[in-house]
Amino acid sequence: MFDAELRTTAMGILPHTDVDAALDLALSVDIPFWPQLPRLSFFEDMYAQASEGFPGITLDLENEKVVFDTARFYEELWAYAEASQDPDYFTLSPAYSAVFHRFLQLDLRDRVAIRGQAIGPISYGLKVTDEERKPIIYNEDVKAILLEFMAGKINQQLAEMQAMHPAAFVWLDDPGLEFVFSSLSGYTDLMAREDLSAFLASLNGLKGLHLCGNPDWDFLLTADLELLSFDAYARGDLFVRYADEIGRFLGRGGILSWGIVPTGAADLERESAASLVARLEGLWDFLAEAGLDRDQIMHQGILAPATCCLVNPDRTETVEQAFAMLGAISETLRERYRLH
C-alpha cells in the first residue's frame, strides 16, 4: 500500500499515436503508468494485449477482432499447460505494447507508486465469442483456463514492475461488470461474484479495479479489493449513496480513485479546475454528513480523469488538457487540506 493523499494517476488508454508524447503524458501524473495506444495498433487494444498466448486465440488484424476457435483451444491446451509453468510465458511482449518495456527501463524510484493495468477476465470472457458467437465465459472449460491465464498475465506484469518499484500495482479494467449487474447478460451476477472472488484471491500485490460504468457498488465495495477507481464526474452522485459500504471500505484501509476530470471535449469545455473542486467537495460533504471521516476520505483518495477517451475530434488535445487540469485540482486540494 502507498500514501494516497489525493495524488494523481489516470486510466491506461491514451489516444496518442506518438509513443514519446504518450509516455511523457503518463509520466506527468504522480503515480505514472504505462499507456496502451489502440490508435497506434490493434495489438495495443486491451483485449488484444491480453490475448497473447491464450489457447485458441488469433488476432484478425484486418477487421480488428479477437477470434476464438473452440477446436483449436482444445488442440493447444496441452502445449499451453506445459508452457505456462514458466512465468515468463505470460510476459507482455514488445510486439503487443510499444511502451511497456520502455517503461520498465525508467528510474521511477522517487515516485510514491507506479501502476499497470489489464483487462479483467469477466469483460474479456463476455466480449470474446466463439464460432457460434457465444461468449467464451459460458464454456466452463474455457472459463477455468481464462481465469488462470489472466491471473498469470497480471502477476507476471506485477513482478516485472515490482523489480523497478516496490509499490507497483496493477489494476483491472473491467467494463463488462456493469452489464452483469444490470441484467443485460446471460452471465449472472451470482456467477460474476463467485468468479471474481476466486480470481482476486489468485492475484498478488495490491488488488485494484477500475470501472467507468455503474455496476453493483455494494458488491465491489465489499469484495476483496484494496483500490476502487470510478467515474466520480458522471457517477459520483450515485456512488456516494453507498455511504455505509464506502465507510467500511475505507475502514479496512481501501483507497478510492475519484475520476473527477471529464475527458470528452464538450464536458471539459463546460468545466474549470474550480468547478470540479467544488463538485468533488460536494461529494465529500455528502459522505461527511452521512458520518464518514472527511480527513480519511482525502488521505485514502487519489484523483484521476473520469474516463479514457478516444473519440474527441482533436485526438489528444482535450485529453492533455484534462491531465493538466487534474494536476491543478490535486495541487489546490493538497494545499487547502495540508496533505503531505
Using the predicted structure, report yes or no on whether residue 236 has a pLDDT greater than 70: yes
Q: What is the mean pLDDT of residues 188-217?
A: 91
CATH of 19-54+87-336 given 1.25.40, 3.20.20, 1.10.3470, 3.30.950: 3.20.20
Using the predicted structure, report yes or no on whether residue 340 has a pLDDT greater than 80: no
**Closest by CA position to 242, among listed 210, 218, 220:** 218
Q: What mean pLDDT, rounded, does the chain reach?
A: 95
Q: CB–CB of 185/179 below 8 Å? A: yes
**Closest by CA position to 211, among listed 179, 169, 243, 254:** 179
Q: What's the confidence (pLDDT) of residue 282?
A: 98
Q: How confident is the model at residue 132 (pLDDT cuts 50, 70, 90)?
A: very high
User: Which is more confidently placed, 190 or 281?
Assistant: 281
Report the C-alpha gap between 74 and 332 in whole angstroms. Answer: 56
Using the predicted structure, report yes or no on whether residue 120 has a pLDDT greater than 90: yes
The share of the chain scoring above pLDDT 70, in percent, equals: 99
Digit-coded pLDDT (tens) for 27-36: 999 999 999 9
Using the predicted structure, report yes or no on whether residue 214 has a pLDDT greater than 90: no
pTM value? Answer: 0.95
Number of residues in the chain: 340
Q: What's the confidence (pLDDT) of residue 80?
A: 98
Least confident residue range of 161-175, 182-196, 221-235, 239-253: 182-196
Using the predicted structure, report yes or no on whether residue 1 has a pLDDT greater than 90: no
Q: Which 8-state DSSP code applies to residue 316?
A: T
Q: What's the confidence (pLDDT) of residue 185?
A: 64
Report the C-alpha gap between 97 and 45 in whole angstroms. Answer: 9
Grid cell for residue 126: 463476455
The share of the chain scoring above pLDDT 90, in percent, equals: 91
Using the predicted structure, report yes or no on whether residue 101 has a pLDDT greater than 70: yes
Q: What's the confidence (pLDDT) of residue 182?
A: 58
Q: Where are the alpha helices (DSSP H) in the chain?
A: 19-26, 46-51, 70-83, 100-104, 121-127, 140-162, 177-181, 189-201, 217-222, 232-239, 243-251, 265-269, 273-289, 294-299, 317-336
Q: How confident is the model at residue 216 (pLDDT cuts 50, 70, 90)?
A: confident
Q: What is the mean pLDDT of residues 197-219?
A: 92
Q: Which 8-state DSSP code applies to residue 35?
A: P
Q: What is the mean pLDDT of residues 311-321?
A: 95
Neighbouring C-alpha atoms within 13 Å toward the C-beta of 301: 25
Digit-coded pLDDT (tens) for 146-195: 999 999 999 999 999 999 999 999 999 988 888 776 555 677 778 888 99
